Structures are given as structure tokens and as C-alpha cells.
């Protein structure tokens, strides 16, 4: 075992031990650094956003120079080369729509131009994947023709280019993660993607204003839509998760908290449809990182209902003391260092706050150092270094347990799969993971002379590619 591999194994054990809410030798450091990597490596935001190879290089530069245990393999997750190929309307691209050193921006359409109309819930509920292809995709794209419209050369080309670009991008991650391990000894922090059904409606379908109106005017349709989306979001999370079940699925939490919605809608629509997803994923041994953007303090009691060890809760503006009191006995916590402090604070300010957050959340392990939110290019390099160095020096434990973890043993022995959901995941009318089921295709084939099992397997493998494409456009881009 060479030095980098030895370092990688030490960091992986430290990171996993903390995520299982146990006590490692010291606090793991796992900053979610996005455009900060560009600043540090000498690139513009345009360069790392529009050329993912430069984004990968910037990650490797940071991974090699900072003593971090884990980092996201590319936190500048939206590759605008792909969004431009598809003609996606909802992003401002650095160097085109905004200055080259400004991070990409999400452009929410006005309510009257939302990508889904208020009367279209039944279409979404009936078959979410078909709705995304038949209705949604043409509305979010300046290139792709709507169903029934003339499909131009550019329309066909955009769809092919987008699919091929996505395949190339995702296939590049494996070698990049291996380079992180081989060249820097750094762990890739997450795998997979998840959003709540209600956030999907708010983010990419009805828009926030449209969702709020619907919650009051037709809440039963919003609930049905969330129930229809839930099995598909679960399936995508499973398909993209870490097959070794060591690092968690990233769950990005946006608009489904008080005061953006009221507590009744949170409990009876958002939590009612989200909780079974988390329980289902945990039943298959997958932890979920609750990247709780904003203040989720009022919802900590709900999160405490989840099975022990099933999540890591990330502190943005939530009350750190309350999070530790209500969740710390069951789950690992992360984050809590305000981003503004990294931007305008002094090194001493950063040291004092790091000590404060460590003293609150980490006395018995089960804590991972990170900023409150994704670190962008406004953060001072000096302050990020101070966060790293102070945590490494102050955040040590006299009696760490790198090898033994109750929750790790449960996962490795398959015992997480014995956990039963307290609420069942809704069934989907169309099997998640495919667009056109084999049974439908089979009816079109007059006679089969050979092995139908082989035909079905290959059909479903290729179907899964078409399925993954549209859901990744919805979730990741």
C-alpha cells in the first residue's frame, strides 16, 4: 500500500465513522467547495462551469493542497456546456448571460410562464416520465420542439447532443474520482442525487409562486403529484447511489420548510411523501445527507422520527444547539460555519466560530466540519485554510474508534434492510426505471423465435438510459 492509498483509507475510515455517528480519531473535514476551487486554481467561473475538465483539475488542485478528508468530485455540478446543448432556458451561463467570474444562476420563469400549468397535474400524476418528455422538456428548451410540432433539424440535434454530452460527462466522473484517490488520497464525499417531491414541483415545474397557490387551491392534486413522483425519485437515488454503501446520497433541500410553506403542508404533503423515500433508501443500506439549506429548526422533531443512522443532517441556518439536542443522539451532523464569515471575517473570527461549533456539536463524535452552505468564489483562501488547520488541530479525540461502528456493522451485515418503513412508498402506475415497459413493446412483436428473457433484459437496460436522461435533466441540470 503506497502513501496516498494509506492516506485514503485513513480518511475514508474517519469520514464513515463520523457519518455513522461514532467517534473517529479526529473530526473529518468535508467542505462543499464549488467556485472556490476555480478561484484557488486560477480559473474563472466560466472556465470551470463550461469546461468540466477544468472543474475536475481545480478539484484535484484543492484536494492536493488542503488537508481535507473528503470533497465533492465536482460541486460546480451544472455543466453549462450540456445545458447550452439542450437549450435549457433556466440557467444564466457565465460568460454569456452574466460576467465570466460570476457563478451560474437559476432563472425562475414568471408564474404565468411556469413550465407546468396548474391544470396539468393529472398528466404528471398519470405518468411523470412521459410528462417530462412530452410536455416539460420542450418548455424548458429553446431548441427542442413540443409534441405535435414540426421537429426541426436543430430540435433533433439538441436531443442527441444533450444525451451524448450527459453520457460523456457522467462517464468522466469514475476516472476523476479514481484520480482523487490515487493522486491526493481524498474521498469522494457523496454519490447519487435526491430531492423531495414538493421541491421538484417548486423548483422545476410550477415555480415557487405557482406551488404556493396550488397548495391553497388544489392541495389534493399537489399531494397526488408528490405521491406519483416519490417512487421515481427513490429509484433515481438508488440507481445513482454508492454501490458500496459507504458515502451518502446527496439530498438538496430547498423550499419545503416553514416559512416558505406552512407547517400543515410540510407535515401532510412534504414529510408524508418524503419520509417513506428516506426509509426505503435506508432499508437498502443507503444513508442520505440532508443538505438543509436555510433554517429547518422547526422540523427537527420530524427528522428525529427517522431510523437511527439513516441520515446526516447538515446545518446551514438551523439552530446548531437544537440540532445537536434533537438529532445528535441518532445522527451525524455537519456544517454550521457561516459562509459570510469565510468571506468578510478575519482568521481569528473563523477560529472562534470553528471552536464554538465544534464545542456544541462534536464532543462525542458524529460531526463533520464544513461551511453552512456551498463555498463559492467570494470566500477568502486564507479563511478556508484557517478553518482546515484549526479543525485539524483542535478537533481531535483521545479515544477514537476508527474500526468499530454499530451502524457500519449493521450496513455491512445487511441489517439495515430489516428496517421496515412506518409509511409505505406509493406505487407507480409505470414501473420506475423504464420509459416504455417491456410488456408494451412485447405486444408489438408478432412472434419471438428466440430467448425472450434476453430481449427483455437488453430492452430494459436501454430503457433505463432514456429514463435516467430525463430525470437527470430534471434533478441535476
Query: What's residue 400's pLDDT?
Result: 55
Q: Please name the residues in contact with 446: beta carbons below 8 A apart, sequence gap of 6 or more.
A: none
CA 32 – CA 74 distance, rounded (Å): 9
- Give, in degrees to the nearest 5, the angle at Cα 5 between 3 and 11: 105
Give the domain extent around 191: 3-476
Selection from 360, 362, 371 nearest residue 337 by Cα: 371
Q: Which residue in 384, 371, 378, 370 sits closest to 343, CA to CA?
A: 378
Spatial neighbors of 138 by CB under 8 A, at least 6 apart, are 144, 145, 146, 147, 149
Q: Nearest CA to 436 among 127, 40, 23?
A: 127
Q: Tell me the pLDDT of the chain averaged across its residues.
A: 94
- The pLDDT tens digits for 113-148 are 999 999 999 999 999 999 999 999 999 999 999 988
Compute the residue count for the chain. Answer: 477
**Strands laid side by side in the 193-194 sheet:** 193-194, 249-253, 288-292, 311-315, 332-335, 367-368
**Rounded distance between C-alpha atoms, residue 85 and residue 79, angstroms:** 10
* pLDDT score of 28: 98
414: left (phi over 0), alpha (psi -120 to 50) or beta: left
d(CA 15, CA 34): 20
Q: Compute the distance between CA of residue 172 and CA of residue 441 in angstroms, rounded to an integer.
A: 32
Contact 296, 318 (CB under 8 A): yes
State the pTM of this model.
0.94
Domain CATH for 337: 3.20.20.210
The per-residue pLDDT for 427 is 81
Distance CA 127, CA 431 (A): 10
CA-wise closest residue to 71 among 245, 188, 242, 192 = 188
pLDDT tens for each residue of 244-298: 999 999 999 999 999 999 999 999 999 999 999 999 999 999 999 999 999 999 9
Q: Which residue has the cell 435506508?
A: 282
The DSSP 8-state label assigned to residue 298 in this structure reads G
Coil, strand or helix: which one is 421? coil
Question: Cell numbers 464569515 label which residue?
Answer: 341
pLDDT value, residue 151: 85
Q: 248: closest CA among 329, 206, 188? A: 188
Exposure of 86 in the CB half-sphere (CA atoms within 13 A):
27
Domain count for the chain, please give it.
Answer: 1
Radius of gyration of the chain (CA): 22
Neighbours of 409 (CB within 10 A): 11
Return per-residue pLDDT of the chain as tens, 477 residues: 899 999 999 999 999 999 999 999 999 999 999 999 999 999 999 999 999 999 999 999 999 999 999 999 999 999 999 999 999 999 999 999 999 999 999 999 999 999 999 999 999 999 999 999 999 999 999 999 998 888 899 999 999 999 999 999 999 999 999 999 999 999 999 999 999 999 999 999 999 999 999 999 999 999 999 999 999 999 999 999 999 999 999 999 999 999 999 999 999 999 999 999 999 999 999 999 999 999 999 999 999 999 999 999 999 999 999 999 999 999 999 999 999 999 999 999 999 999 999 999 999 999 999 999 999 999 999 999 999 999 999 999 976 554 444 444 554 444 455 555 556 888 877 889 999 999 999 999 999 999 999 999 999 999 999 999 999 999 999
Cell reading at 187: 474521498
Strands (E), 22-90: 70-71
Amino acid at each position: 500500500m503506497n502513501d496516498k492509498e494509506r492516506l485514503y483509507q485513513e480518511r475514508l475510515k474517519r469520514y464513515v465513522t463520523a457519518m455513522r455517528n461514532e467517534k473517529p480519531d479526529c473530526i473529518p473535514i468535508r467542505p462543499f467547495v464549488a467556485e472556490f476551487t476555480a478561484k484557488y486554481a486560477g480559473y474563472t467561473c466560466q472556465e470551470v462551469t463550461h469546461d468540466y475538465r477544468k472543474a475536475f483539475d481545480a478539484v484535484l488542485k484543492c484536494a492536493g493542497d488542503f488537508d481535507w478528508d473528503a470533497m465533492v468530485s465536482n460541486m460546480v455540478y451544472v455543466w453549462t456546456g450540456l445545458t447550452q446543448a439542450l437549450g435549457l432556458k433556466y440557467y444564466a451561463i457565465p460568460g454569456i448571460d452574466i460576467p465570466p467570474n460570476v457563478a451560474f444562476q437559476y432563472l425562475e420563469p414568471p408564474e404565468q410562464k411556469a413550465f407546468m400549468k396548474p391544470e396539468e397535474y393529472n398528466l404528471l400524476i398519470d405518468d411523470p416520465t412521459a410528462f417530462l418528455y412530452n410536455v416539460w422538456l420542450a418548455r424548458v428548451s429553446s431548441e427542442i420542439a413540443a409534441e405535435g410540432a414540426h421537429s426541426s433539424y436543430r430540435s433533433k440535434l439538441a436531443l442527441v447532443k444533450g444525451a451524448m454530452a450527459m453520457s460523456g460527462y457522467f462517464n468522466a466522473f469514475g476516472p476523476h474520482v479514481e484520480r482523487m484517490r490515487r493522486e491526493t488520497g481524498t474521498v469522494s464525499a457523496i454519490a447519487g442525487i435526491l430531492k423531495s417531491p414538493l421541491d421538484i414541483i417548486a423548483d422545476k415545474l410550477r415555480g415557487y409562486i405557482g406551488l404556493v397557490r396550488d397548495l391553497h387551491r388544489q392541495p389534493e392534486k399537489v399531494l397526488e403529484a408528490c405521491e406519483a413522483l416519490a417512487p421515481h425519485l427513490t429509484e433515481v437515488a438508488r440507481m445513482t447511489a454508492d454501490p458500496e454503501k459507504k458515502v451518502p446520497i446527496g439530498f438538496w433541500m430547498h423550499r419545503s420548510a416553514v416559512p416558505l410553506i406552512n407547517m400543515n403542508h410540510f407535515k401532510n404533503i412534504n414529510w408524508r411523501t418524503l419520509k417513506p423515500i428516506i426509509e426505503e433508501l435506508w432499508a437498502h443500506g443507503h444513508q442520505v445527507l440532508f443538505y438543509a439549506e436555510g433554517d429547518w429548526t422547526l422540523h427537527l422533531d420530524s427528522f428525529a422520527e427517522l431510523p437511527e443512522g439513516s441520515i446526516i443532517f447538515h446545518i446551514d441556518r438551523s439552530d446548531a444547539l437544537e440540532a445537536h439536542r434533537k438529532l445528535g443522539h441518532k445522527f451525524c451532523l455537519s456544517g454550521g460555519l457561516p459562509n459570510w464569515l469565510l468571506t468578510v471575517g478575519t482568521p481569528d473570527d473563523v477560529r472562534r466560530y470553528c471552536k464554538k461549533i465544534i464545542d456544541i456539536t462534536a464532543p462525542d463524535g458524529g460531526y463533520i466540519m464544513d461551511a453552512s452552505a456551498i463555498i463559492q468564489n467570494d470566500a477568502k483562501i486564507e479563511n478556508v485554510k484557517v478553518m482546515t488547520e484549526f479543525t485539524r488541530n483542535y478537533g481531535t479525540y483521545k479515544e477514537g474508534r476508527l474500526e468499530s461502528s454499530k451502524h457500519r456493522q449493521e450496513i455491512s451485515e445487511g441489517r439495515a434492510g430489516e428496517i421496515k418503513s412506518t409509511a409505505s412508498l406509493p406505487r407507480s402506475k409505470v414501473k420506475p426505471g423504464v420509459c416504455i415497459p417491456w410488456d408494451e413493446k412485447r405486444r408489438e412483436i408478432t412472434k419471438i423465435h428466440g430467448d425472450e428473457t434476453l430481449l427483455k433484459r437488453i430492452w430494459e437496460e436501454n430503457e433505463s438510459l432514456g429514463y435516467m436522461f430525463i430525470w437527470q435533466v430534471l434533478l441535476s441540470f
